[in-house]
Copies of this chain bind each other. A is one copy, B any other.
Amino acid sequence: MAEIPTAAISRLVTYLRILEQLEAQDISRTSSSDLAERAGVSAFQVRKDLAYFGRFGTRGMGYTVPILKRELVRVLGLNQTWNVVIVGMGRLGQAIANYPGASDYQFQYVGLFDVSPAIVGRQVRNLTVQHMDDLRAFTSHNRVDMGFLAVPPDRAQDAAQMLVDAGVRGILNFAPVVIQPPVEATVQQEISDEWRGVIIENVDFLAGMKRLAFYILNPHLKDAPMTEDTE
């Protein structure tokens, strides 16, 4: 499974979302060209993306929606439980905690953290917001697979460090900054040990706004025929 482009993983996520919508509409069969049209890519692209992970359909017969959905759920690791803490429980953290759909995938919020006296102690859903100082003790007693960062931009790097120090190996960063593993001063370009293998993904509202601005000004680029992995 080497050499799979990041863009292909993003597209798998889109295909899965489309399959869920088809299932909700009681549509039981689809095809690469149907998926392609709904996803805004080429049928060739759909077939290529799926082929990284196996053979899912029957040539000329298309795909069975629930089967392909189940396979993509498995490929993406969504058939297992993910224990999540949210760091930063202002408006954004609360919006994330209440975002519809997360619980469909066994993403379980197990801890909520903040530093503000006005927020620590509050109830959000069925959890009490804890102080960041208690994060490390919490992770030493509870399995935490992911941390969602919803703090202000100027706090994001420090909060990410606290998550990593507490042993959290996956971070979904909602702040509009690039989180970077600190580089050891003594060994040039060497990432500090505790950051090795930490995965960071970003959800950036501003990035979406900027892409939208670009494509409103350059709509012909949005319509360009999709080829290879470069969609």
Contacts and interface: CB of A to CB of B under 8 A. Distances in A.
Per CB-CB distance, the 8 closest pairs between chain A and chain B, nearest first, are A5-B230, A203-B208, A95-B95, A91-B95, A77-B217, A77-B213, A92-B95, A201-B212
A2 B230 CA distance: 12
Interface stretch (A58-66, A135-143, A172-180): A172-180
Copies of this chain, whole number: 2
A120 interface: no
Contact of A208 (B178, B201, B222): B201
A106 B7 CA distance: 29
A100 B153 contact: yes
Interface residues of A, number: 81
Interface in A148-196: 152-153, 169-172, 174, 176-178, 180, 189
B95 A146 contact: no
A215 interface: yes
Interface of A: 1-7, 9-10, 12-14, 16-18, 21, 37-39, 75-78, 82, 84, 90-92, 94-96, 98-102, 105, 107, 145-146, 152-153, 169-172, 174, 176-178, 180, 189, 197, 199, 201-222, 224, 228-231
Highest count of chain B CB atoms <10 Å: which of A14, A84, A212, A217: A212
B207 A10 contact: yes
Contact of A216 (B9, B39, B170): B170
